[in-house]
Amino acid sequence: MKKILEVKQLTKVVHLDKNNSSQILKHIDLSIEQGEFVTIMGPSGSGKTTLLYSISGMDKPTSGDVYFLGKKISKMTEDHLSAIRLNYMGFVFQQSQLLKNLNILDNIILPGFMAKRESRQVIVNRALALMSETGIRQLKEHEIDQASGGQLQRVAICRALINDPEILFGDEPTGALNSKATDDVMNILVDLNLNGTTILLVTHDAKVAARSERVLYMADGAIKGEKVLGKYRQGDDVRAREQLLVNWLTKMGF
Amino acid sequence: MIITTLFVFILLATLLVSGATQIMVTLFSSMDNLFIAAKAPHYVQMYAGDLNQAEIDTFTEENPLVRNQQTVTMLGINGAYLYLGDNENSEANSIIENSFVKQNQEFDFLLDTNNHKIDVNDGEIGVPIYHMKEYGLELGDKVQIVKNNLNMEFTITAFVRDAQMNPAIVTSKRFVVNDNDWMTLQNHCSEEEYLIEFLLHDVNDVNEFEALYQSSSLPQQGTAINYTFYRVLNALTDGVVVAVIMLISVLLLAIALLCIRLTLIATIEEDYREIGVMKAIGISKREIKRLYLAKYIIISFTASVCGYLISLFIGHVFTANISLYLGSSNLTIWSNIIPFLGALFVFGIILLFCQVVLRKISKISPIDALRQMMINGNKYRSRGFKLSRCFVGNPNIFLGLKAVFSQFSLYGTLSVIFLVCVGLMNMPFNLLNTLTSPEFITYMGAGRSDIRIDIQHRQDMDSVYRQINQYLIEDQDIVNHTGLVTAAYRLENADGLHETIKIESGDFSIFPLEYLNGTAPDSVDQMAISSLYAEELDKKVGDEVTLLTNDDRSYTLSISGIYQDITNGGRTAKAQLPYQKEDILWYVINIELASGISVADKTMEYNREFPEVKVTEMDEYLSQTLGGLVDQLALIVKLAFGLAIIIAVLITAMFCKMLLAKESKQIGIMHHLGIPYRNIQVQYLTRILTVLLLGTVLGVLSAMTLGQELAVALITGISKMEFIIDPFVSWFVYPVSLILTVSITIIWCSQSIPKRNLMPLREE
């Protein structure tokens, strides 16, 4: 399998004041293959989110290198990184983070219009298809304050997918949802992965991580261990996978 | 940034309001002092001609209203013979009429700069303050009179404060010389003019006296001025300054209020949820308003106090001109209290305005506000503009436009500020452009010509006129010329009393005027009058007036037309009446040269041929008549341009910083999605430039319409004026300057976008 993302000796130091600094990421090595579904877990303050933002080009690492599709992105200019994020990466956050002066359909198509790779009609049609797949087609003319939290998170997923990204990053994408909405969102992500989209999630929810293929455990800014669960398919016993994961996490000290 | 800008605007507004009120207080106090010290006359008739003093004495004795009377003889010295200070050129081209007088014995004293009666020795002279300021004269400088075999040199020992002729707009000025020197001058000068001055027992009787005088047989060919009018004239120059300062302070206050509206609306929007929560837990809307009001009370109070205090320290800058022309004022408790009330007024207006804006808080529903917590923000409606159906090619421009139209109350306020800036630039410029255009002559009661010859009142005036006329008839370089004669008549007013009216007669078809209503008089029974006169006499086209000549012949004339005129106090008339030689006040000859003939050369030729008359190029006549005003206006145009640019930059910077802070989260989202900062910058540029374009178009149009009305209200004698617009400046130079400076400001402000902490977008 081809490596989509490779991280070598990644370090992030944050200066708290003149005399004090804190090392959030400590010499991290990581590699993700194309089509993989990887989850990063760990206690609060372990550096999960910082790692996600550093490898996705949203935050600059202090040292170390990040390779995306074989290209070193850790030293790229801000404009270059923006172009990579726009064209090859998708993001879903804990809150839907939609632009509040756009309606639901416009929020989804905006990155497509910005990328200017295809005609507007093609982008709008793809957005409508994504909305149908995620079950929110009926909301296309709605304002964002006219949808529920679960629906908005699906809108965010559609937006992340509008440019057909190589990888989808998720930062606690189900963190603000109830269990029914969490199941719905995760089913969508699993289907996407089965269709070939690489996914890297940060979560502290074992039930969510149980649907991924590989789980990394982080503590004190370093990856302390890894659990391979194998590809999850709809209908697999998610509870059994979750139990397996919980046992491993307990051993890791989670 | 926001607080500083607001503070500066309020401070400046308070400073100017306090300054303007200080000018008013000082102006009236100084004027009172001057009028008392000078024992200013209550009624003055200027007159040039044979004088019968015995007749005046009889009138005085028989009139119980009169306390004292004196007749002042002024020796008119043609500017061509007068040299001031180091100036190598004579005063030939000046429109000022310089007269030499002795110090008066009874009243109407000519004072020095300490308000003391001037007393000069042989060879010494007191020079009007106007000349001192105009030429930078100092005590000890020389004044020379060189005429044929006369060569007199004087040393300046005093500068004259003249209650009657102080103001710059009064074109007659009095120099004070010793009795001996005056006698020498009298022997060489034939131009004598008299001031028949009356001091009344009670100044309130001046109107009654005026009516009595005008119905008497005493001399009336000349300007008559009363005490009230002197005061108005003296107050006018500084009054205009007060009006301009007040106008600027109102503008600054308006901008400060718009800034407050801008920041308050933005803050309320930002705190939408918090306000909802506060309401939900039972905090009353009054308490919530008080929270927001506190900040603005502190800012506006501090700024108002600072503005007031600064005005006390730099007050002398505002009142320097008054101190020079009118002398010092009496400092009373009111000198400080009135400016303080001005500052208090500014503070009160701001508080009231804040209360009005904060009414928005009452409209926030706690349920709506709390509902917004789910989606991180307050309500924005996307109705109207849909990206999926958008006609604008660039999505960044679309997002910029959409922001403007979905929050129009916020951007509309900014647009009004830009409108004010553009109006501020354009209004004085349009006025200047109009005043300096050759067409403006039509507002001065004259048709367009190349050269104008003025033959002032003198004994041999008639023969000089005929001589010049003959010369002009023979001159091959001339296409057209016409002589207009101004003579004095008496007009019966609505009260049945007679007042003097100066009427210009001649052929008005050669250099036609533009008439507001009606046409030029084309027969002996018609008369055209200036718009101000028409207003005063309450006459319109078709109405009739009755005129009397000095030998009591009566004419009934119908008003054929009304025209605009700002000369002679705006009161002039035109007709084709017969006139007696002794009633003639002056002649004016208008000349149009053949094409290719140099106006300057021709003017020099006539000046050489006829040294006893005033020959002026028409353009020169315009600029001399409007000289001071045009210079001042040119300065105002520059200042207004600078002020407008500074306001636009400050407001843009403030608005931009506020927006970026308010929308940092939205910017963060876009950045995370991969939209480069450069594109985000384009969105902000689009927003503000759209608003700027809207403000510019409305601003230019307002300056052309409302500005025009304002100019008409400001200039006496003009009831209708059409601005002459320079489209290149109004529609290109000014807008482009604004667009450039505003764009640079936006780019500069948005440089900080990447430095803002946009990470992470994670909710804890």
3-state secondary structure labels for all residues of B403-453 = HHHHCHHHHHHHHHHHHHHHHHHHHHHHHHHHHCCHHHHHHECCCCCCEEE
* B155-183 per-position pLDDT tens digit: 999 999 988 887 766 778 899 999 999 99
DSSP structure string for B588-617: EEEEEEPTT--HHHHHHHHHHH-TTSEEEE
* B441-474 per-position pLDDT tens digit: 777 777 778 898 988 766 677 888 999 999 999 9
Q: How far is A10 from A61, CA to CA, in rounded Å?
A: 7
How many angstroms away from the CA of A106 is the closest CA of chain B? 6
How many angstroms away from the CA of B406 is the closest CA of chain A? 8
* B269-281 per-position pLDDT tens digit: 777 878 888 887 8
Q: How far is B699 from B427, CA to CA, in rounded Å?
A: 9
Cβ atoms of A127 and A158 within 8 Å: the answer is yes
* Residue B323 CA to its chain's centroid (Å): 20
Gap between the terminal Cα atoms of chain B: 30
Give the pLDDT score at B498. 64
Q: How far is A46 from A41, CA to CA, in rounded Å?
A: 9
Determine what percent of chain B is predicted with pLDDT higher than 90: 23
Strands B124-128 and B150-160: parallel
- DSSP letter, residue B674: T
Identify any residues that bridge with B505 across adjacent strands, giving them in sequence order.
Answer: B485, B575
Give the pLDDT score at A198. 94
**Which H or E element spans position B727?**
helix B727-728
- Which of A46, A55, A97 is the mutation pick for testing B, counting most B CBs within 10 A? A97
Q: Does the beta-carbon distance from A82 to B675 stay under 8 Å?
A: yes
Distances (CA, A) of B285 to B267, B311, B322: 16, 38, 51
* Tokens standing for residue B427: 């209004």
The whole-chain average pLDDT of chain B stands at 83
Least CA distance to A79: which residue of chain B? Answer: B676
Closest CB to B673 among A91, A101, A176: A91
Which chain B residues are closer than 8 Å to A175 by Cβ?
763
Closest CB to B372 among A106, A145, A175: A145
Q: Does the beta-carbon distance from B376 to A95 stay under 8 Å?
A: yes
Summarize the confidence of residues B178-205 as an average pLDDT: 87
ipTM of this predicted structure: 0.84
Q: Does the beta-carbon distance from B382 to A159 stay under 8 Å?
A: no
Distances (CA, A) of A155 to A95, A124, B608: 11, 14, 92
Question: Residue B375 pLDDT more than 70?
Answer: no
Least CA distance to A172: which residue of chain B? Answer: B762
Q: Does the beta-carbon distance from A111 to B377 stay under 8 Å?
A: no
Q: Residue B409: which residues within 8 A CB-CB, separation 6 or more?
A: B265
Question: Residue B388 pLDDT more than 60?
Answer: yes
Strands B451-455 and B584-593: antiparallel
The domains of chain B are located at: 1-42+221-379, 49-201, 385-441+625-764, 457-612
Cβ atoms of B651 and B473 within 8 Å: the answer is no
Q: Does the beta-carbon distance from B676 to A82 stay under 8 Å?
A: yes
Identify any residues that bridge with A185 across adjacent strands, giving them in sequence order.
Answer: none
Question: Residue B672 pLDDT more than 70?
Answer: yes
Which chain B residues are closer than 8 Å to A103 by Cβ?
382, 386
Q: Residue B747: which residues within 8 A CB-CB, separation 6 or more?
A: B681, B685
Q: Is A171 helix (H, G, I), strand (E, B) or coil?
A: strand
Q: Does the beta-carbon distance from A78 to B754 stay under 8 Å?
A: yes
Domains of chain A: 3-24+33-99+167-252 (3.40.50.300)
* B579-619 per-position pLDDT tens digit: 777 777 788 999 999 988 898 899 889 988 888 888 888 87
- Which of A100, A117, A143 is the mutation pick for testing B, counting most B CBs within 10 A? A100
Strands A3-15 and B172-177: unpaired
Q: Does the beta-carbon distance from B760 to A53 stay under 8 Å?
A: yes
Q: Residues of B at the A interface (Cβ-Cβ below 8 Å)?
A: 371-372, 374-382, 386-388, 395-396, 402-403, 406-407, 666, 669-679, 754, 759-763
Q: Is B480 helix (H, G, I), strand (E, B) or coil?
A: strand
Give the pLDDT score at B377. 45
Indicate the length of chain B as a whole number.
764
Cβ atoms of B602 and B451 within 8 Å: the answer is yes
Summarize the confidence of residues B179-197 as an average pLDDT: 85
Burial class of B447 by CB neighbour count within 10 A (0 to 12, 13 to 18, 19+): buried
Question: Residue B744 pLDDT more than 80?
Answer: yes
Which chain B residues are closer than 8 Å to A101 by Cβ?
380-382, 402-403, 406-407
How many angstroms away from the CA of A121 is the closest CA of chain B? 8
Question: Residue B627 pLDDT more than 70?
Answer: no
Q: Does the beta-carbon distance from B761 to A93 stay under 8 Å?
A: yes
* Residue B36 CA to its chain's centroid (Å): 29
Spatial CA neighbour of B681 closest among B401, B418, B400:
B400
Residue B155: phi and psi, rounded to 5, are: -105, 135
Q: Is A3 helix (H, G, I), strand (E, B) or coil?
A: strand
* Tokens standing for residue B637: 């145009």
Cβ atoms of A52 and A59 within 8 Å: the answer is no
Q: Does the beta-carbon distance from B674 to A102 stay under 8 Å?
A: no
Query: CA torsion sign, B195 to B201 to B204 to B209?
Result: negative
Q: Which residue has the tokens 């004090």?
A: A20
Question: Residue B296 pLDDT more than 80?
Answer: yes
How many angstroms away from the CA of B386 is the closest CA of chain A? 7
Q: Does the beta-carbon distance from B666 to A99 stay under 8 Å?
A: yes
Give the pLDDT score at B555. 85
Q: Does the beta-carbon distance from B674 to A87 stay under 8 Å?
A: yes
**Which H or E element spans position B109?**
none
Identify any residues that bridge with A31 across adjacent strands, giving them in sequence order.
Answer: A6
Determine what percent of chain A is predicted with pLDDT higher than 90: 48
Per-residue pLDDT band at A10 (split at 50, 70, 90):
very high
Closest CB to B762 among A93, A101, A110: A93
Q: How far is A133 from A121, CA to CA, in rounded Å?
A: 18
How many angstroms away from the CA of A150 is the closest CA of chain B? 11
Query: How many A×B Cβ pairs under 8 Å?
Result: 112
- DSSP letter, residue B141: -
Q: How many CA atoms lie within 13 A of B470 on its CB side?
A: 8
More confident of the two residues A54 and B413: A54
Residue type, B61: E
Q: How far is B447 from B688, CA to CA, in rounded Å?
A: 47
* Tokens standing for residue A250: 């307990």
Q: Does the beta-carbon distance from B759 to A106 stay under 8 Å?
A: no
Q: How far is B93 from B98, CA to CA, in rounded Å?
A: 12
Determine what percent of chain A is predicted with pLDDT higher than 70: 100
Cβ atoms of B155 and B80 within 8 Å: the answer is no
Q: Does the beta-carbon distance from B376 to A94 stay under 8 Å?
A: no
* B31-80 per-position pLDDT tens digit: 888 888 999 999 999 887 788 899 999 999 999 999 999 999 998 887 77
Cβ atoms of B151 and B137 within 8 Å: the answer is no
How many angstroms away from the CA of B762 is the closest CA of chain A? 6
How many angstroms away from the CA of A240 is the closest CA of chain B? 30
Question: Residue B209 pLDDT more than 80?
Answer: yes
Q: What is the pTM of this model?
A: 0.69
Residue B548: phi and psi, rounded to 5, are: -125, 135
Spatial CA neighbour of A59 closest among A70, A45, A74:
A74
Strands A21-33 and A71-72: unpaired
Cβ atoms of B34 and B330 within 8 Å: the answer is no
Per-residue pLDDT band at B190 (split at 50, 70, 90):
low
Q: Does the beta-carbon distance from A111 to B760 stay under 8 Å?
A: no
Question: Residue B738 pLDDT more than 90?
Answer: yes
Closest CB to B374 among A127, A149, A172: A149
Summarize the confidence of residues B472-488 as an average pLDDT: 89
Alpha helix ranges (H) inside B84-226: 129-135, 179-188, 206-214
Cβ atoms of B130 and B166 within 8 Å: the answer is yes
Distances (CA, A) of B527 to A41, B82, B153, B504, B652: 101, 39, 48, 10, 57
Identify any residues that bridge with B117 across adjacent strands, giving them in sequence order.
Answer: B111
Q: Does the beta-carbon distance from A91 to B672 stay under 8 Å?
A: yes
Query: CA torsion sign, B133 to B135 to B140 to B145?
Result: negative
Q: Which of A83-92, B22-31, B509-518 has the highest mean pLDDT?
A: A83-92
Alpha helix ranges (H) inside chain A: 48-55, 78-88, 104-115, 120-133, 149-161, 179-194, 206-209, 238-252
Residue B596: phi and psi, rounded to 5, are: 90, -10
Least CA distance to A97: which residue of chain B? Answer: B669
Greatest CA span in chain B, whole angstroms? 104
Strands B614-617 and B451-455: antiparallel
Spatial CA neighbour of B671 closest among B747, B748, B750, B746:
B750
Cβ atoms of B241 and B333 within 8 Å: the answer is no
Per-residue pLDDT band at B495 (split at 50, 70, 90):
low
Q: How far is B559 from B574, CA to CA, in rounded Å?
A: 10
Closest CB to B763 among A53, A95, A106: A95
Query: CA torsion sign, B690 to B692 to B693 to B698?
Result: positive
Cβ atoms of B547 and B577 within 8 Å: the answer is yes
Spatial CA neighbour of B536 closest among B578, B507, B501, B511:
B501
Q: Is B84 helix (H, G, I), strand (E, B) or coil?
A: strand
Q: How far is B414 from B258, CA to CA, in rounded Å?
A: 8
How many angstroms away from the CA of B758 is the closest CA of chain A? 10
Q: How far is B158 from A147, CA to CA, in rounded Å?
A: 87
Question: Residue B764 pLDDT more than 60?
Answer: no
Question: Residue B295 pLDDT more than 80?
Answer: yes
- DSSP letter, residue B581: G
Q: Is B183 helix (H, G, I), strand (E, B) or coil?
A: helix
Q: Does the beta-carbon distance from A106 to B382 stay under 8 Å?
A: yes
The alpha carbon torsion through B724, B728, B730, B736 (nearest 10 deg) reads -170
Least CA distance to A102: which residue of chain B? Answer: B382
The whole-chain average pLDDT of chain A stands at 89
* B674-730 per-position pLDDT tens digit: 888 889 999 999 999 999 999 999 999 998 888 888 877 766 556 677 788 899 999
Per-residue pLDDT band at A215 (split at 50, 70, 90):
very high
